[in-house]
Amino acid sequence: MKVAICAQGNSHTAPLDPRFGRCGFFAIVDTTQNKWEFIPNPGATSGGGAGIQAAQELAKRGVKAIVTGRVGPNAMAVLQSAGIEVYTAVGETVQEAYQNFQNKNTTPLEKANAPSHAGIKQK
């Protein structure tokens, strides 16, 4: 299974990005092979609809779960339609968040926990 983690940089030690739609990078981990891949988030520089764009990209790449901080309503709608599970991240770095996800220390998120445009106001 592929899981995506919102990251501020493109390495295992990069800090988590609490934002979904506007996070800098996604760490995409293939859990069966423990294979890591870092991709820039196309939503990060988007004029609008960042979360929609980010969610679509992850769906296209076959991601089945995401580990993040805050997800807006439109992104959540796309994620749910795509059957992607959403988990609230625990930890400081991408690596820690992934371990906590693997150890089932993360809680699933059923609905959006951020208003529209929340991510653009941070940073």
Partner 1 sequence: MMIAVASGKGGTGKTTVAVSLALALADRQKIQYLDCDVEEPNGHILLKPRLQKKTPVTVPVPRLDQAKCTFCGRCAQICAYHALAVLPASVLIFPEMCHNCGGCWYFCPEKALTPAPREIGQIEEGGVGGIEFVHGRLNVGVAISPPLIRAVKERRRKDVPAIVDAPPGTSCPVIEAVSGVDFCLLVTEPTPFGLHDLELAAEMTKELGIPGGVVVNRSAGHDQEVEKFCRDKNLPLLLKIPLDREVAAAYSRGWPPLTVRPRWKEDFLTLWEKCREVARP
- Residue 108 binds partner 1, judged by CB under 8 A: no
- Residue 95 binds partner 1, judged by CB under 8 A: no
List the one residue from 53, 68, 95, 106 that touches partner 1 (CB under 8 A): 53
- Tell me the HSE value of 52 on the side-chain side, using a 13 A CA sphere: 7
List the one residue from 41, 74, 95, 106 that touches partner 1 (CB under 8 A): 74
> Which is closer to partner 1, CB of 13 or CB of 48?
48
- Quick check: 21 and 123 in contact, CB under 8 A? no
- Compute the least distance from the CB of residue 34 to partner 1, in Å: 26
- The closest alpha carbon to 33, from 60, 1, 69, 76, belongs to 1
- Residue 41 binds partner 1, judged by CB under 8 A: no
Distance CA 69, CA 43 (A): 16
Distance CA 123, CA 101 (A): 26
- Residue 82 binds partner 1, judged by CB under 8 A: yes
